[in-house]
Amino acid sequence: MKQNSDWITPSAIGRFTFCEKAWDMERCGQAVPTTKQMKQGTRKHRQKEFAVGMSSFLFAVALLLGLTFMAFFFVR
């Protein structure tokens, strides 16, 4: 079956979710990143994922502390 180049495949969605820039470069026919560049990109993605996870955790802690503070001082 011939695929239309305008169709978006599940693997393309996965590549886009992982790295929008790499997906766009591939669609535009630009050079494929080298193994070293891909490893650097993976490392940057992991750092970003850690930072987002940590900020979500800290937000939850701050919310819990805020609610505890309100309950302690205002519910007496």
List, for the chain, all residue ranges whose pLDDT scores fall below the cut of 70.
1-5, 76
The rounded mean pLDDT for the chain is 84
pTM of the predicted protein model: 0.51
Give the pLDDT of residue 4. Answer: 59
Give the pLDDT of residue 1. Answer: 47
Residues making up the chain, counted from first to last = 76
